[in-house]
Amino acid sequence: MPDTAVQSPATPLTTLSEDEILFRDNVRQFAEEKVRPLAKEMDEKGLFDHALLEQFFQLGLMGIEIPEQFGGAEGKFFDAILAVEELSRADASAGVVVDVQNTLVNNALLRWGNPEQKKRYLPSMVADTVGAYALSEAGSGSDAFALQTRAELKGSEYVLNGRKLWITNGKEAGLFVLFANIDPAAGYKGITAFIVEKGFAGFTVGKKEDKLGIRASSTCELILEDCRVPRENVLGEVGKGYKIAIETLNEGRIGIGAQMLGVARGAWEYAAKYAQERKQFGKVLSEFQGIQFQIAQMATDIEAARLMVYNAARMKDAGVTFVKEAAMAKLFASQVAERVTSLAIEIYGGAGFTKDYPVEKYWRDSKIGKIYEGTSNMQLATIAKLVMGK
């Protein structure tokens, strides 16, 4: 659906540089022409189109912040956020593939990888390797540091045993930033991050979850049975995995905020266009004040979410503390996405409840925003702690 169909809640040009506008518009055009036509089929099949994934690499969307010396675009975190938003406007599954690659995996490698690890892995992250972030387990969701996966040093290798659950990009990924505990008696201070290649002995990708939304995005179980990981594949310091997890997820939450922003925008645009076409009682829906008010409120909420997400991303790039702002952006953007997509269905009426129209998919895709990379309650707990100083 072209942008000219309705007056979309648009980014004020004064907030973006010319380069950022050009980058955003290029991603938007790509999403419109290449991603949107595949969204319905990928959702129904529960599979991400491999050719589309290859195009992500060709366009440089999988290595936005990676330095040029490794083949990356050497862009800003803000650029990654723009890409996630625009892709998610067309399909949330496309958005999260790029989001996890950039805001979690690449960020972790860039911040904590040593020179040898960067030289070995970053070029492939730009060229052809999908990354995944493996923290969650069946018994450690919000309580992420209750993880049970163990790592034992044996000679020049660590031997890992355990299972990971809910791992985004699990099916497509060739590299995993994976967390295990080397000293359970030390609690969270034993948690260590490892760079795990898909081909390592003892590593298996298990079942793919059959999900409500973001169905094309693979969410898989990982099985580690005496998985052998070279000692040099420890990411950062031994026992400091908790720090890597916390700080990386703070950045990832801005990415999820961008994803939810894109989802809300996509649903709003369809609903606003439909309201100008559908007639009831001799008038198009958009002539009824009740519908006008709903569309206006939706647009206002989207703009507020955008400002929060963009502000958090700018703060990250500026090197200032952004933990509170990231939590607020994810919390609010996910709330907005759920409200806007639900209202979009109601504007469509009975038609919106069918799969013949796209808004029901946006609503299904929105629900995950309140759950992954920190539930809404966890965001509220973080915000409360920071604003109350406790």
Active site residues: 373
Q: Residue 173: CB partners within 8 Å, gap ≥ 6?
A: 129, 130, 131, 132, 167, 198
Angle CA 275–273–28, to nearest 5: 155
Contact between residue 173 and residue 132 where contact means Cβ atoms under 8 Å apart: yes
Give the residue carrying structure tokens 């998919």.
361
Contact between residue 302 and residue 309 where contact means Cβ atoms under 8 Å apart: no
Q: Is the dihedral of CA 217, 220, 222, 223 positive or negative?
A: negative
Closest CA to 16 of 5, 8, 25: 25
Contact between residue 56 and residue 98 where contact means Cβ atoms under 8 Å apart: yes
The structure tokens listed for 333 are 């953007």
Q: How far apart are CA 361 and CA 354, in angstroms?
A: 10
Closest CA to 107 of 314, 318, 251: 251
Q: Is 142 helix (H, G, I), strand (E, B) or coil?
A: coil
The structure tokens listed for 108 are 């972790």
Angle CA 131–137–138, to nearest 5: 140
Closest CA to 370 of 334, 329, 333: 334
Angle CA 131–132–134, to nearest 5: 150
CA count, 13 A, side-chain hemisphere, 293: 3
Amino acid at 368: I
Could you tell me where the beta strands, DSSP code E, fall in the chain?
A: 130-134, 150-154, 157-168, 173-181, 191-197, 203-208, 219-230, 234-235, 279-280, 283-284
The structure tokens listed for 149 are 């996966």
